[in-house]
Structure 1
Amino acid sequence: MTSPSYIIVGSGVFGASTSLSLIRKYPSASIILIDRDAFYAPFRVAASWDWNKAVRADYRDILYTKLGLEAQLLWRTDPVWQPFYHQSGVMWISSTAFTEQVLKNFAELGVEVDIRAYSVEEARALYGGLFEDADYTGVKQVLVNRTSGWAEAKEALQNTIKTAVGLGVKYVTAEVTALEFEDSPGRKRCHGVKTAIGESIGADRVILCTGAFTPKLLVDSAPEWTDLHVGDRIIAAAVTEAIAPLTAEQYHILDTMPVAINDNPTEYGENLGCLPLPKINALKYWGQIIFRNTLEHHITRKPLSMPPLKSDYAQWDVPLALKDDVRRGPESMFGRKKVNQELEKFRICWEALTPSQDFIVSPHSACDGLYVATCGSFHGFKFLPVLGKYVVEMLCGELEPKLRERWAWDRELPPTKVNSKWPKRDLIALSE
């Protein structure tokens, strides 16, 4: 029996991982991976294209702790990803009960990791006093996990796709503008995609790994078919990041520096973060403000959050308010005296976010032949080595019930007010 043919739309973290897992399971299958950008392009719109990303298993939610540990093992050992992983450790400064819950999860799982809680005074002395002047407002304990770290993001993503292509996946550089459907008994079936140049590409199964583009793509594909649309399941949201070159006198910081995450100051939104970039003697920072971009859809005339309509998502057009948001990072992490840095190369990173911050890995309930595997919710990259495994299990009907329920297209959605990542501001307001 021949395996079905597949189109995977989007070659970010979900699409890349899925393509590799699929071709490993079905070596003779027709698998097409489509993206608007070449996978070796110097700049891409995918959220997973980045200078670097944190790789950790430190979660309040034990389900993602388990997945993080599984992914970390492959980051350390699998030749596809091992060259790009750096076990620097992660230091997390939080005034919440985050530290206690993380330690409880590891204890419950019975795994041995080099993790512990430090008092603020102890934390000030760590890493040669690098974080002595950080913002510890309201903090009782600081979490340090020395078995976590970071990955070279775009390089790991490229190598995943390169490996999949080497095994037989066909990579197509094209902009998908719509899905294509046919009537089948009782309901519609997705049988392919249409590109910006009018080309139709068909397959038995279409898997959307389209991130922040997903809400717009589904509305564009069938404006009046509301059951196809994302509804309240997904919102396109974004955060800003930048890099900060170090002076020659500061290069030594990179020798031992961990990923640093700080919830302070708390009034602006999510946490701030900082990661080392030793190849270019710099640090990467991200900001706290998570925002949306609400536009009127050109056909339905209804509001919809989507990335800016430019081909590159206008990711380098960063308003001053968002630049200032990222500029809070150095003081939050190091204080004014320790690392006085000028930030550059500001970038807006667009992501698909769900109300629960869970992924969606599921058949689409309104359409046969259509599957959704996306919604990194600002924490998906670290699972690059294992996401495809679970997508393939979903396609085969073998996803374990707990994951099937958590990642379903149709599931009970929590109120967004309890989601600290849910965007409360619009890009246009931040641009004024």
Structure 2
Amino acid sequence: MAQPSYIIIGAGVFGTSTALHLITQFPSASVTLIDRNAPSDATRVAASWDWNKVVRADYRDPLYCKLALDAQDVWRSDPLWAPFYHQSGIYWISQSGFAGEVIENYRRLGRDTSALKELEVEVAKGEFGGLFDQADYTGVKKVLVNRSSGWADAKGALRRVAERAVELGVRFVRGEVQELLFGEGGACVGVLTKEGVRVQATHTILSTGAFTPKFLDGVATATGNDAFLAGERMLAGGVTTGLAKLDDETAKVFADMPVCIQENPPERGPDNGTLPLTADNKLKWWGQTIFRNTQTMPSGRQISAPPTPSDYDQWKVPDVLVEDVAVANKVTFGKRGEGWEIKEHRICWDVFTPSADFIISPHSAAKGLYVATAGSFHGFKFFPIIGSYVVKMLEGTLDPDLVKTWAWDRELPDESKRRIWPHTEFKDLL
């Protein structure tokens, strides 16, 4: 305990990236990564586990545009990450001036804009062989085409990076953390798992995703200190995905398909989208409905959290959410997708913040406790670099603007500005 030591709870994007960057920067450090699932497990509950995930730098916010561009550089060039990255391009249907804002961000950051185009709808329909000529363009004036964006094999990348961290010296503990351990002055000094494993460290980092508000409720109850509670800082929410397996002839037509994202009118939801084919010719969509799952905790508090089974009941998808994915197919491909049978529906859970900013910060309730989570369903693309910012936070060298943006106790935005926010209750969809 004389030297800095680290426990990371949660082996998703934030936790695994942090473990890799810590052990790379401090090879002799004690770094322990704890998760209920081993890296080799066929399925996991982490939001970062999936068949494929979008890797893009198309952001209105210059901060996330820059970070995503930096992450893309690693995805393309680093031998650890490059095998999982596919630069398919992206086709972004928006009712706003999104395309122009993205291109301007690239210019301001000194990045090449030759792969980006802001196109009139009728011109855009001819891109990528006309695959999206039957999409819903209601109210749309311009389409963003960015051939420098793409997607990554999420499951493969998460598994390999965790393996690499272990190869470099990270200790992986399979288990579920039952409680935090506190020492002199109330400082967090480690964890105790439900399996009875006690691990101590000078730094304990919560990268617990959608489970975070529920976990902190348990900590607050055990300690009698409500300062641990997530409160309005974050909210667990879910979205539905689905897969359709294409026949060999149809798969040939879609072989060079890009990612497609469609920003929806407010009454339909934030957005929906589809990703290119997996290795076994499966096409993936996500729906436009984001929902919370409010439960009564043993403490009596009402908190949104994933379903209680260990697998979050992620494969039990209500009919209305099956239809939600079908809508994503219809507004993207029109009649072209009518014959596709969408199967393998999955509910993916993540934790949102009101501003959709990450939380990478010391927890104000206890020395030695830190938070690195809140992907808000856009965190995966930062996988190669996000851990480096967690390390900077732990060292106290994080840029002051990022300290403010990602702080635990930051000022929350007005509720009226929370467009991408889980308003619907899951129970109302059953």
> Is the pair's TM-score, using the shorter chain for normalization, greater than 0.5?
yes
Residues 71-97 of structure 1 show CA distances to partners (whole Å, capped at 9, x for unaligned) of 000000011110000000011001022
| Structure 1 residue runs without a partner (length 5+) | none
Deviation at 1:167, TM superposition (A): 0.2
CA separation in 1, counterparts of 2:211 and 2:152?
Answer: 25
Q: Secondary structure at the match of 2:320?
A: helix
| Cα distance per residue 1:353-412 (max 9 Å; x no partner) | 100000000011111000000000110000000001000000000000111110001100
> 2:184 & 2:422 partners in 1: Cα distance?
37
In structure 1, how many angstroms separate the alpha carbons of the residues matched to 2:34 and 2:220? 20
Q: What are the within-5 Å matches in structure 2 for residues 185-334 of structure 1?
A: 188-223=186-221, 224-264=224-264, 266-298=266-298, 300-334=299-333
Residue aligning to 1:342: 341
Q: Assess if the C-alpha contact under 8 Å between 1:30 and 1:169 holds in 2.
A: yes
- Tell me which moved more, 396-405 or 408-417: 408-417
What pairs with 1:143-222 in structure 2 (closer than 5 Å)?
Answer: 143-184=144-185, 188-222=186-220
Three-state SS of the structure 2 residue aligned to 1:252 is: helix
Which amino acid in structure 1 is aligned with residue 67 of structure 2?
L
Report the CA distance between 1:253 and its aligned residue: 3.0
> By how many angstroms is 1:157 displaced?
0.8
Q: How many residues align?
A: 427
CA displacement, residues 308-366 of structure 1 (integer Å, 9 cap, x when unaligned): 11000111111111111111111111112356311101000000110000000001111
The amino acid of 2:9's aligned partner reads V
How high is the sequence identity, in percent, across the aligned residues?
52
Give yes or no for contact 1:88–1:146 (8 Å, CA) kept in 2.
yes
| Cα distance in 2, alignment partners of residues 290 and 417 from structure 1 | 16
Cα separation, 2, equivalents of 1:137 and 1:249: 31
Q: Work out whether residues 137 and 264 of structure 1, in 8 Å CA contact, stay in contact via their aligned partners in 2.
A: no
SS of 2:371's partner is strand
In the other structure, the counterpart of 1:362 is 361
Q: Is the 8 A contact 1:212 1:237 kept in 2?
A: yes
The equivalent of 1:351 in structure 2 is: 350
Q: Secondary structure at the match of 2:254?
A: helix
The answer on whether the counterparts of 2:255 and 2:277 sit within 8 Å (CA) in structure 1 is no
Contact 1:330/1:341 (8 A) holds in 2: no
Aligned to 2:375: 376
Matched residues in 2 for 1:110 and 1:383: separation? 20
Aligned residues of 2:51 and 2:278 also touching (Cα < 8 A): no
Question: Against the structure 1 CA distance between its residues 94 and 340, is the aligned structure 2 distance closer, same or farther, given a 3 Å change threshold?
Answer: farther
SS in structure 2 of the partner of residue 76 of structure 1 = helix
Q: Distance in 2 between matches of 1:236 and 1:179?
A: 21
Partner of 2:97: 97
Alpha-carbon shift at residue 256 of structure 1 (Å): 1.2
Report the Cα distance in structure 2 between the residues aligned to 1:324 and 1:137, rounded to whole angstroms: 20
> Alignment RMSD, CA only?
1.3
CA distance in 2 between counterparts of 1:8 and 1:416 reads 32
Question: Aligned partners of 1:266 and 1:139: how far apart in 2?
Answer: 14
Match of 2:124 in 1: 123
Distance in 1 of aligned mates of 2:257 and 2:338 = 13
1:135–1:264 contact (8 Å) kept in structure 2: no
The 8 Å contact of residues 220 and 227 in structure 2, kept in 1 or not, is answered as: no
**Who is 1:398 aligned against?**
397
Q: Secondary structure at the match of 1:428?
A: helix
Q: Any conservation in 2 of the 1:88–1:256 contact (CA below 8 Å)? A: yes
Is 1:251–1:281's contact at 8 Å kept on the other side of the alignment? yes
Shift of 1:40: 1.0
Question: Which letter does structure 1 place at the counterpart of 2:210?
Answer: A
Equivalents in 2 of 1:343, 1:419: separation in Å?
31
CA distance in 1, matches of 2:244, 2:264: 20
Which range is displaced more, 269-278 or 382-391? Answer: 269-278
> What is the CA distance between 1:64 and its match in structure 2?
0.2
What displacement does 1:265 show?
5.6
Deviation of 1:418 (Å): 1.3
Distance of 2:187 and 2:389 partners within structure 1: 23
Q: Which residue of 1 aligns with 2:138?
A: 137
Q: Could you tell which deviates more after superposition, 329-338 or 253-262?
A: 329-338
The 1-side partners of 2:395 and 2:265 are apart by 45
CA contact (8 A) 2:97 2:142 kept: no
Distance in 2 (CA, whole Å) between partners of 1:283 and 1:98 is 26
The structure-2 alpha-carbon separation of the partners of 1:255 and 1:7, relative to structure 1 and needing over 3 Å to count, comes to same
